[in-house]
Amino acid sequence: MRTVVIIGAGPAGLMAAEQLATSCAAAIKAQTGPGTIEPTAGPGGDGLDIVVFDAMPSVGRKFLMAGKGGMNITHAEPLPDFIARYGERAAQVGPLLDDFGPAALREWIHGLGIATFVGTSGRVFPTEMKAAPLLRAWLHRLRGLGVRFHVRHRWLGWSGDGQLRFATPAGEIAVAADATVLALGGGSWAKLGSDGRWVPLLAAEGIPVAPLQPANCGFDVAWTAHFRERFAGSPVKPVLASCGQLHQQGEFNITETGIEGGLIYAMSAPLRDALSAGKPAELWLDLVPGRSLERLRTDLARPQGRDSLANHLRRRVGIDGVKAGLLRELCPPEVLTATDRLAAALKALPVPVTATRPLDEAISTAGGVCFAALDQCLMVRERPGLFCAGEMLDWEAPTGGYLLTACLSSGYRAGRSAADWLLQ
C-alpha cells in the first residue's frame, strides 16, 4: 500500500482525491480483473491509501461560503471565449480545460445527482442554487472510494527526512507520503482556511512563488465625509466602466472606504497592476450609457429656468441620487456649471482609486506557484512526486464560474498525474 497525501480540502483537493481513487481503481482492474481488490481500502490493503488533510474543522469551507449567494459553478459560453477569460495565463489554463472544462464539469455534477441550469447571463448554477447538497454528495462518493479525511491538521512543511509535518490538536505529527498534492488555496478569506501561510514553506524549499495579490477586489477612494455618510451602501447602476482597453457595463456599490461589486471586480486586475507599478489607476464611469454625448449636450442646454442643478439633471437626463452625488463629489464646481464639460463628465467621470482593499477581503488572489516551476502534469520539476493545484497556482480569473472551473480542472490534472506517477 502506497500513501498519497492531499493537503487542502477545497474543490481542487477533493477533485484530486477523486481522480486518484478512480484512476487507481481503473489501473488495478486492468491488471487483475474486476472484483479482486478494493483499490483504496485504507491502510493495510492493496492500491493507494488516499488521505486528505485540512487545517479547518471541516472541509470545503470557502466553497460553501461562495455558494451562499447562489452557487455559480461554471459558464456556458464557447470554450475559446471561456479560456480567454484567464488573460495572460490562458496558455497554461487552456490545456487543463481541454481535459476537464465547463461541459465535463456539468456532466460530473449531474453524476452526483445535482441538476443544473443556465441563467440568462450564461452562468451555470445548480438547480437548488446551493453548494451544500453538492458537497454532501461529493463527500459521500469520496468516502465510498476509500478516501480518508483528517481535519484540524495544519501543514507545517517537511521534516529533515522528507516527511510531512502537521500541527494537530494532539501535537505535531509526521506523515510519510509516496506522493503529495498541495491544494492550499490562495491568500484571501483566511477565516475559511485560505490564508497563504504555505508561501514561505515553499519559498524555503526553493519553489518559485509569485507574490499573492488581491483579485476580484474592491478599491479605496478618498470620499469626503459628507458623501460617505450619505451614500455608503448605495448601488450605482447601470453604468459603463472603462479601464484602458477594458469596457464593461454593470453595477457596483459605494462603500465607506471606496467601491466594490461585480463591475469593479471585472476591472480589478488592470487597476491593481497600475497601482502596483506606481502608475495612475484610471477608472472611468459613463453614468448614462444609453445616451450619446451629443444628446446629453442638447438635453443639458435646454433652459434651466427656476430649477436647481439637481432638478435640471433629474428632469433632463435622469441623474439623481448617488449618481448626482458622484458628480458633485468628483467634479470641480466649474464643471457642473458648464454644459459641455458637464456632459463630458457624465460620459467619462474619473474615479481616483488609491489602493486595493486588503488581500483577505478579496474574493480570490492572483500570484502563486509559478507555472515555470511545474511540468505539464502540475508536478514540481525539482521535486518529483509533489503536485500543485487550485488557486495556489499563479493564475486569476473573473467571477462567473471561471474560478471554480479552473480549480476543479487543475485538481483533475494533478490527481490523474499523481496516480500515473505512482502506478507507473
Is residue 310 exposed (0-12), middle (13-18) or buried (19+ Cβ within 10 Å)? middle
Q: Looking at residues 301-326, what average pLDDT do you find? A: 91
Same domain, 154 and 234: no
Same domain, 35 and 101: yes
- Model confidence at 47, pLDDT cuts 50, 70, 90, reads confident
Q: Kindly report which listed range (15-19, 31-35, 168-172, 334-338) carries the lowest average pLDDT score.
A: 31-35
Domain of 407: which CATH number? 3.50.50.60
The cell 438635453 sits on which residue? 299
Report the Cα 45 to chain-centroid distance in Å. Answer: 38
pLDDT at 304: 84
Cell of 96: 487543463
pLDDT at 46: 54
CA distance linking residue 110 with residue 105, whole number of Å: 9
Tell whether the torsion through CA atoms of 411, 413, 417 and 420 is positive or negative. positive
Beta strands in 113-184 (DSSP E): 116-118, 123-126, 148-150, 154-158, 164-168, 171-175, 179-182
0.85 exceeded by pTM: yes
pLDDT at 1: 83
**219 within 8 A of 271, measured Cβ to Cβ:** yes
- Model confidence at 27, pLDDT cuts 50, 70, 90, reads low
pLDDT at 355 over 90: yes
Of the candidates 166, 199, 131, the residue with the CA atom closest to the CA atom of residue 55:
166
What residue numbers bound the domain in which 91 lies? 2-214+364-423
Same domain, 227 and 117: no
Cell of 409: 480542472
Same domain, 305 and 331: yes
Write down which residue in 356, 378, 397 finishes a domain.
356
Same domain, 14 and 147: yes
pLDDT at 48: 86
Write down which residue in 356, 384, 401 finishes a domain.
356
Strands 219-221, 364-369: parallel, antiparallel or unpaired by DSSP? Answer: unpaired
Beta strands in 255-363 (DSSP E): 258-260, 282-286, 349-356
Q: Looking at residues 266-286, what average pLDDT do you find? A: 94
- Model confidence at 24, pLDDT cuts 50, 70, 90, reads confident
What residues contact residue 186 under an 8 Å CB cut-off, 6+ apart? 194, 196, 212, 364, 365, 367, 368, 391, 392
Same domain, 45 and 123: yes
Amino acid letter for position 226:
H
CA distance linking residue 227 with residue 352, whole number of Å: 15
- Model confidence at 246, pLDDT cuts 50, 70, 90, reads very high
pLDDT at 37: 35
Same domain, 340 and 376: no
- Model confidence at 32, pLDDT cuts 50, 70, 90, reads low
Exposure b/e, 255-275, CB count within 10 A at least 16 = b: bebbbbbebbbbbbbbbbebb
Same domain, 169 and 231: no
Based on the structure, what is the number of domains in the chain? Answer: 2
Same domain, 142 and 10: yes
Same domain, 267 and 201: no
Q: Looking at residues 411-419, what average pLDDT do you find? A: 97
H or E element that contains 361: none
Write down which residue in 326, 356, 386 finishes a domain.
356
Of the candidates 365, 409, 358, the residue with the CA atom closest to the CA atom of residue 219:
358
**pLDDT tens-digit readout, 80-130:** 999 999 999 999 999 999 999 999 999 999 999 999 999 999 999 999 999
CA distance linking residue 389 with residue 379, whole number of Å: 9
Q: Looking at residues 172-191, what average pLDDT do you find? A: 96
Cα–Cα–Cα angle for 107, 109, 112, rounded to 5 degrees: 115
Mean pLDDT of the chain: 93
Same domain, 198 and 330: no
Same domain, 97 and 197: yes
CA distance linking residue 341 with residue 335, whole number of Å: 5
